């Protein structure tokens, strides 16, 4: 594992900042700041959501927004190119990009090089290294800019970037990065297919900040689906995108017995939100569903504490995209909330089937419905699973351990443990 010992700031290249769905990145930045790391956030796009989590307001780092579309800021891109091409390593960076472009002749590949030009030209001189969150587009910008500037770069891989990146690109980036980490054993096993050394990719589970998710007040486990006036509350938190499997979850809810009293609450935005509302109407579920849209962290925490059961049905999307380790499963369990999910990617790492929750095979709507029904009807079992899940989160998914593992990688003195 390469480490840093030089002074100066680290530039974190991210897809967008702030983003409600990437709280774990914001929490990592904030925690590293608290331990003394000076950070510049470099965002490939501007925020599209009006809401922010409290952690976003606590971050001290400046934010440098690159042009999301090159044609929107042509003068800035032109100035970036004129300055970057005078750098001694510019030709090397252009060769790297041209080799990538031959394999991937797409507008996206052109855009990433243009963003790298602007970054190389505008990056403050006290930046000593680049770190990308996500192995796909942020890592491309980091790689090209680092090549121009003669800096090292590192990467944290998470979900879509792990599962949909072409093998050739994964090999190239993992070979060149100073170090790479990922947040699940499933993702690490996949990435190790592209590198010969097991040490090339380390497992660092990002977990959650337990100070933001303290133990909840005593939960009322009395709702068992028998009282229409007091239905069991089913909760799901996640973006309305294909890999989250909300079409499957709604279809499974439609299979629940008519005599079971329940209400479903969904929190999250996303491009498929309207489609899901239409599907709920076709399935006759609309009277039982509350669509709350995107929420800040305090609203999500309150929803965890109001609910009786958490449900998520992730699956592999048609393009191969899939979840990494869904943080919402960790958050929900931290509040003593029993969870039902499908066994895709790293969900079995978050939920131990029959111990801290229940898992169903992906796409098996009947099994998913039966798991939900069984826990709605059995409050005592919900309570046992919820308590076991909360205990495991506090022992295995405390974000502090992840931060302590990352510290030496960024040149900070380690205080506790190391990565697995």
Q: What 3-state DSSP class applies to 276?
A: helix
Task: Please count the structural domains in the chain.
Answer: 2
Q: Is residue 88 a part of any domain in this protein?
A: yes
pLDDT per position in the chain (420 positions), as tens?
444 445 579 999 999 999 888 889 999 999 999 999 999 999 999 988 888 889 999 999 999 999 999 999 999 999 999 999 999 999 999 999 999 999 999 999 999 999 999 999 999 999 999 999 999 999 999 999 999 999 999 999 998 999 999 999 999 999 999 999 999 999 999 999 999 888 899 999 988 999 999 999 988 878 999 999 999 999 999 999 999 999 999 999 999 999 999 999 999 999 999 999 999 999 999 999 999 999 999 999 999 999 999 999 999 999 888 888 899 999 999 999 999 999 999 999 999 999 999 999 999 999 999 999 999 999 999 999 999 999 999 999 999 999 999 999 999 986 644 444
Q: Is residue 80 a part of any domain in this protein?
A: yes
For residue 94, the domain's CATH number is 3.40.50.2000
Helix axes 74-84 and 107-122, enclosed angle (nearest 10) = 70
DSSP one-letter string for 180-210: EEES-HHHHHHHGGG-S-GGGEEE----B-T
Q: What is the pLDDT of residue 313?
A: 97
Does 329 lie in the same domain as 192?
no
Does 320 lie in the same domain as 296?
yes
Q: What is the pLDDT of residue 48?
A: 83
Does 189 lie in the same domain as 240?
no
Q: What is the pLDDT of residue 420?
A: 44
- Whether residue 337 contacts residue 310, with contact meaning beta carbons closer than 8 Å, is answered with yes
Q: What is the pLDDT of residue 323?
A: 86
Note every long-range contact of 20-23, with CB atoms under 8 Å and residues 24 or more positions apart, other chains counting.
20/49, 20/51, 20/52, 20/53, 20/269, 20/294, 20/295, 20/296, 21/239, 21/268, 22/133, 23/53, 23/55, 23/297, 23/327
Q: Is residue 2 a part of any domain in this protein?
A: no
**pTM score of the predicted model:** 0.92
Does 237 lie in the same domain as 110?
no
Residue numbers of the domain that contains 126:
9-207+398-410
What b/e string do you get for 101-118 counting C-beta neighbours within 10 Å, with b at 16 or more? eeeeeeeebebbbbbbbb
Does 161 lie in the same domain as 275?
no
Q: What is the pLDDT of residues 353-376, one digit of tens each?
A: 999 999 999 999 999 999 999 999
Cα 82 to the chain's mean position, in Å?
A: 36
Does 128 lie in the same domain as 261?
no
């Amino acid at each position: 594992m390469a480490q840093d010992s030089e002074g100066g700031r680290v530039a974190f290249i991210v897809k967008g900042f702030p983003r409600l769905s990437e709280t774990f990145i914001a929490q990592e930045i904030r925690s590293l700041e608290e331990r003394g790391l000076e950070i510049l956030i470099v965002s490939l796009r501007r925020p599209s959501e009006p809401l922010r989590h409290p952690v976003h307001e606590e971050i001290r780092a400046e934010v440098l927004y690159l042009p999301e579309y090159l044609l929107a800021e042509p003068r800035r891109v032109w100035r970036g190119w004129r300055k970057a091409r005078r750098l001694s390593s510019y030709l090397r960076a252009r060769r790297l990009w041209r080799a990538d472009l031959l394999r991937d002749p797409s507008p996206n590949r052109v855009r990433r090089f243009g963003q790298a030009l602007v970054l190389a030209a505008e990056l403050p001189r006290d930046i000593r290294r680049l770190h990308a969150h996500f192995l796909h587009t942020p890592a491309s910008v980091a790689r090209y800019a680092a090549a121009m500037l003669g800096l090292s770069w590192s990467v944290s891989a998470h979900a879509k970037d792990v599962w949909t990146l072409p093998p050739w690109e994964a090999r190239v980036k993992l070979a060149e990065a100073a170090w790479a980490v990922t947040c699940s054993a499933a993702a690490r096993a996949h990435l190790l297919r592209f590198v010969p050394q097991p040490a090339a990719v380390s497992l660092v589970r990002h977990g959650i900040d337990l100070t933001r998710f303290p133990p909840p007040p005593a939960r009322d486990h009395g709702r068992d689906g028998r009282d229409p006036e007091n239905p069991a509350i089913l909760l799901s938190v996640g973006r309305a995108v294909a890999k989250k499997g909300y079409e499957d979850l709604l279809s499974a809810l439609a299979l629940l017995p008519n005599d079971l009293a329940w209400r479903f609450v969904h929190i999250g935005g996303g491009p498929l939100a309207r489609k899901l509302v239409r599907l709920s109407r076709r399935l006759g579920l609309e009277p039982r569903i509350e669509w709350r849209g995107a929420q800040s962290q305090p609203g999500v925490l309150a929803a965890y504490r109001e609910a009786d059961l958490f449900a998520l049905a992730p699956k592999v999307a048609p393009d191969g995209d899939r979840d990494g380790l869904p943080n919402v499963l960790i958050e929900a369990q931290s509040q003593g909330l029993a969870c039902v999910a499908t066994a895709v990617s790293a969900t079995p790492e978050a939920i131990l089937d029959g111990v801290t929750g229940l898992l169903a095979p992906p796409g098996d709507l009947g099994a998913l419905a039966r798991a939900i029904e069984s826990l709605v009807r059995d409050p005592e079992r919900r309570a046992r699973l919820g308590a076991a899940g909360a205990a495991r989160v506090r022992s295995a998914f405390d974000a502090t351990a992840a931060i302590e593992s990352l510290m030496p990688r960024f040149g900070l003195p380690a205080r506790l443990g190391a990565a697995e």
